[in-house]
Structure 1
Amino acid sequence: MKNIGFLSFGHWTPSPQSQTRSASDALLQSIDLAVAAEELGADGAYFRVHHFARQLAAPFPLLAAIGARTSRIEIGTGVIDMRYENPLYMAEDAGAADLIAGGRLQLGVSRGSPEQVIDGFRYFGYVPGEGADHADMARDHLRVFLDVIDGRGFAQPNPRPMFPNPPGLLPLEPQSPGLRDRIWWGAGSRATAEWTAEQGLNLMSSTLLTEDTGVPFHQLQAEQIQRFREAWTAAGHDREPRVSVSRSIFPIVNDMDRAYFGHESRSEDQVGHLDGGLARFGKSYAGEPDQLVKDLAEDEAIAAADTLLLTVPNQLGVDYNAHVLESVLRDLAPALGWR
């Protein structure tokens, strides 16, 4: 059994070929797709976060809105770039959104990916400390965020406050119980997956790994998951971790599917350079359902994960993306034992 959700980048472009031509379209259609996904029986609605781009950027208003419109589906990010975040403000936003959603928030965070501008986090007022780089800064922001979401008091109260204070140092409010166990780190390598386990965070792994050993993507990702689980056990955490992987999967069941994704049936892994090193990109899966069942049954990383996030082409509109989700849930999931 697997949790199956979607992951949207939330692109928009003012083009006649796009069903999502403005920021308003991207936000409102994201809410509608989450509602549709819940009605179809999907388990999660996740969204990418990018700055300085025509993509979704500010996640918490969107997550809160979806939380108010749905009742069951998990709501998350994949991922928030911690280089840009004020961890205290983020903790307040996350606590509020999680309470609105009734404890359904699943926050994926990471050090971020290559962005549209050089060192964009500097425009947000964040500069790595002396002897540190941007990745160190992201992890420092994460440590502060994790430290305050559990309700630890740390702020000295005013002796003459506007409202009465409880005794002791004050925590941030609002608090949302259990949120700490629903934080995920987006890991791009095997070593980062081990670090993720040591921190007691769930593992989120996408269709990109920032290393290459010459083996197929799904096998390299399966090794990443195995190392994560071994490191989790060694760390002695007292709960079971969760692991998600992302995939582009398009069952071809009608002529529209064939027109959009028929060419993807020949997709293969790609190896390229990213941030000065080799990276391996996973292939897309497109084809007739019977063939996809055979192909996906051989994906070792999907087999090892408890959560599968389907990357959706959001600019094709809510109805088409709901159709893709329905096809996966109806035509693939039962045959593969995911449902």
Structure 2
Amino acid sequence: MDNRSGFLKKKLAYIHINAAKDSTITKMKKIGFLSFGHWANHPDYATKTAGDVLQQSIELAVAAEEIGVDGAYFRVHHFARQLASPFPLLAAIGAKTSKIEVGTAVIDMRYENPMYMVEDAGAADLISGGRLQLGISRGSPEQAIDGWRYFGYELKDGETDEDMGRRKGLEFLDLLRGEGFARPNPNPMFPNPPGLLRLEPHSSGLRERIWWGSASDATAVWAAKAGMNLQSSTLKFDESGKPFHIQQAEQIRLYKKTWKEAGHEREPRISVSRSIFPIMNDRDKYYFGHEAARTDSFGYIEAGRRAVFGRSYVGTPDQLIEELAKDEAIQEADTILLTIPNTLGVEYNLHILSSIVKYVAPGLGWK
């Protein structure tokens, strides 16, 4: 009996220890930064020109990889002094780094030619060795009225611009399968492979690394059915009046449920964006201390569509750990994208990222 009792105690201890490990594992997150790539000829900006933003984005990605950040992500806006055409930048970062994920959050598909985009994305992914993580979407309200029309695109009969964005997104996703569709010329300049021709260069794993940026429950469900990963930002259409993180968590749970029902074979990835600023010194307090008491806000980003905007998290590392542990959407996601003030330069943004990686992430079990 004593031997058996000792065996059972050891077994229970083993189960307890491994259960604790499993609990920690479920909390682990990939941590990336998200840059909007602003520039302006402002005396306080380190990014006075587009060239400054592009060069500093590469420098920050290289430095972020060195301190253990998992991803370098960039927002795409047109007709604005912000980053636009993403693929030269993504390819350059891919060539300069070896581990960090390189991606977007998000590319506005209303402005894109899906076929040309497949070629650009395939090239950038191959240069990076398969580290591209492309967030695409219908996009947000832009600087120019129907700016996509200047790019040569028109709506089909009865189509909204949202419909067009989703249509192009599905076309892009389908083309990434790498299946042939173009009839070969019988007298080509170079010999063709047998059968119909596909777009080249083809990157075989990229299709599973496409994310859809969703601002509503309905588009999250749509993305799950289509087999795309999910990106949810720091704002969402208000669909219940509940706090932002709760609405976002409910959106993610609905996405997961739909994904499972759709029968996809792989596990999806889910990211949420957050503005997190540890107060480590007087400079941090000067820049962000005034945001510490702010809460979620409600407003309108489109006519007639009310949205909820998530709060910024500002405080000492201990305060951030306590507050972020209560964020339900973060618990549901596997990836956190940290919005950064890119105009403050590489050194300061690296300070922010390093403070989070060293002093906040471990306390939450993210790393």
TM-score bracket, shorter-length normalisation? over 0.9
- 1:326 paired residue number: 354
What are the Cα deviations for residues 225-247 of structure 1, in whole angstroms up to 9, with x where unaligned? 00000000000000000000000
Q: How does 1:62-77 map to 2 (within 5 A)?
A: 62-77=89-104
User: How far apart are the structure 1 equivalents of 2:364 and 2:171?
Assistant: 41
Does 2:147 correspond to 1:120? yes
What are the Cα deviations for residues 213-269 of structure 1, in whole angstroms up to 9, with x where unaligned? 121100000000000000000000000000000000000011110111111111110
Q: How does 1:9-48 map to 2 (within 5 A)?
A: 9-48=36-75
Q: How does 1:214-225 map to 2 (within 5 A)?
A: 214-225=241-252
**Secondary structure, aligned partner of 1:309:** strand
Q: 2:292 aligns with which of 253, 262, 265?
A: 265
Residue identity matched to 1:167: P
- 1:296 paired residue number: 324
Q: How does 1:133-152 map to 2 (within 5 A)?
A: 133-152=160-179
Shift of 1:59: 0.1
**Count of residues in Structure 1 that have an aligned counterpart in Structure 2:** 339
Shift of 1:211: 2.2
User: How far apart are the structure 2 equivalents of 1:100 and 1:292?
Assistant: 37
Q: 2:308 aligns with which of 261, 280, 283?
A: 280
Residue identity matched to 1:287: G
- 1:316 paired residue number: 344
Which region of structure 1 is more displaced relative to structure 2, 85-94 or 274-283?
A: 274-283
Q: 1:88 aligns with which of 87, 108, 115?
A: 115
User: How far apart are the structure 1 equivalents of 2:294 and 2:98?
Assistant: 37
Shift of 1:143: 1.8
What are the Cα deviations for residues 134-186 of structure 1, in whole angstroms up to 9, with x where unaligned? 11111121122112111110001101000111111100000001100000000
Larger Cα-atom Rg: 2
**Secondary structure, aligned partner of 1:156:** coil
Using the size of structure 2 for normalisation, the TM-score is: 0.92
Residue identity matched to 2:347: D
User: How far apart are the structure 1 equivalents of 2:238 and 2:183?
Assistant: 45
User: How far apart are the structure 1 equivalents of 2:154 and 2:237?
Assistant: 24
Question: Runs in 1 of length 4+ with deviation above 6 angstroms?
Answer: none
Shift of 1:325: 0.2
Does 2:266 correspond to 1:242? no
Residue identity matched to 2:256: R
User: How far apart are the structure 1 equivalents of 2:302 and 2:289?
Assistant: 32
Q: Percent identity?
A: 65
Shift of 1:212: 3.6
Q: How does 1:137-286 map to 2 (within 5 A)?
A: 137-276=164-303, 277-286=305-314
User: How far apart are the structure 1 equivalents of 2:237 and 2:146?
Assistant: 19
What are the Cα deviations for residues 6-25 of structure 1, in whole angstroms up to 9, with x where unaligned? 00000001111111000000
Question: Gaps spanning 5+ residues in structure 1: where?
Answer: none
Which region of structure 1 is more displaced relative to structure 2, 8-17 or 140-149?
A: 140-149
RMSD value over aligned CA atoms?
A: 0.6
Shift of 1:288: 1.0
**Secondary structure, aligned partner of 1:266:** coil
Shift of 1:273: 1.3
Which region of structure 1 is more displaced relative to structure 2, 208-217 or 64-73?
A: 208-217
Shift of 1:274: 2.0
Does 2:127 correspond to 1:106? no
Question: Gaps spanning 5+ residues in structure 2: where?
Answer: 1-27
